[in-house]
């Protein structure tokens, strides 16, 4: 009886924590959106965060995107060569990257790199009472700490995705032209003839929401840290895991929305 009671209590706590987590995210998200137009705008802090998130993430995003394009071309070539349809590799690489792989891979990289860094930074500030000090000095913690990171991620993630798409397509181009002997002009024609504006803008729209997810989850986990240095480590791990799950879930939702319900 005691074991069964403990089991039900554990399940109940998990359900309460689940709803508490999403309620906290919603509250922080609404606060952030309402404080964006409030002065002071903090443009300098926004540009600083944009540099950290965008410019500093560019090398790893570029490297991973290039190899994704190469791997995608090699994998599709394995099947297409059996059907003598190598020319369609260009179309598959371009559409796959712009619709799904480019936005999702870029978001996951930024979440793992910048999202974890934001949680650790804000978590350290929370446990050392720097956040309380901001309130004492008359600054709103959400306005000062969350809004610049929110705006930077929302703007820089689509920018990074554009570069990731281009670099990934270039990786596929190298395989198609120099490994499969497809003429360069033919490969490029197949790439751009297949792509339509919907492929491009749907991928970029998704990244705007991915950026919001990364910012809100990372800041929420950082600002609610408890338990000192150990708590910061746990919050950082939780932030990355929860962000990954929410990004994949959001991607599933937007893919269904754009290509099945709004077709």
Question: pLDDT, tens digit, for every residue of 155-168?
Answer: 999 999 999 999 99
Residue 215 included in any domain: yes
> Which SS3 state, helix, strand or coil, does residue 176 take?
helix
Residue 250 included in any domain: yes
Question: Average of pLDDT values for 191-202?
Answer: 86
**Among candidate residues 239, 262, 213, the one with its CA nearest the CA of residue 28:** 213
* Domains in the chain, number: 1
Cis amide leading into 40 (omega within 30): yes
Residue numbers of the domain that contains 238:
43-261
> Residue 108 — very low, low, confident or very high, per pLDDT cuts 50/70/90?
very high
Residue-wise over 142-178: b if at least 16 C-beta within 10 A, else e? bbbbbbbbbbbbbbbbbbbbbbbbbbbbebbbebbbe
Does residue 98 surpass a pLDDT of 90?
yes
Residue 11 included in any domain: no
Report the pLDDT value the prediction gives residue 2, as an integer from 0 to 100. Answer: 58
């Amino acid at each position: 009886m005691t074991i069964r009671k403990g089991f039900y209590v554990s399940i109940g706590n998990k359900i309460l924590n689940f709803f508490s987590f999403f309620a906290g995210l919603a509250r922080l998200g609404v606060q952030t959106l309402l404080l964006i137009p409030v002065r002071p705008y903090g443009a300098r802090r926004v540009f600083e965060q944009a540099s950290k998130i965008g410019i500093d993430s560019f090398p790893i995003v570029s490297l991973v995107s290039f190899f994704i394009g190469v791997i995608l071309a090699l994998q599709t070539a394995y099947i297409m060569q059996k059907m003598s349809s190598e020319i369609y590799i260009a179309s598959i690489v371009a559409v796959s990257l712009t619709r799904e792989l480019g936005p999702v891979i870029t978001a996951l990289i930024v979440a793992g790199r910048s999202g974890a860094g934001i949680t650790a930074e804000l978590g350290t500030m929370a446990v050392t009472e720097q956040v309380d000090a901001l309130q004492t000095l008359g600054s709103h913690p959400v306005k000062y700490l969350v809004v610049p990171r929110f705006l930077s991620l929302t703007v820089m993630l689509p920018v990074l995705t554009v570069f990731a798409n281009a670099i990934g397509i270039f990786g596929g181009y190298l395989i198609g032209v120099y490994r499969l002997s497809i003429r360069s002009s033919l490969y490029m024609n197949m790439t751009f003839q297949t792509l339509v504006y919907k492929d491009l803008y749907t991928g970029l729209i998704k990244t705007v929401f991915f950026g919001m997810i990364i910012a809100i989850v990372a800041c929420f986990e950082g600002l609610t840290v408890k338990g000192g240095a150990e708590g910061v480590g746990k919050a950082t791990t939780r932030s990355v895991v929860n962000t990954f799950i929410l990004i994949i879930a959001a991607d599933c939702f937007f893919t269904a929305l754009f290509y099945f319900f709004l077709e």
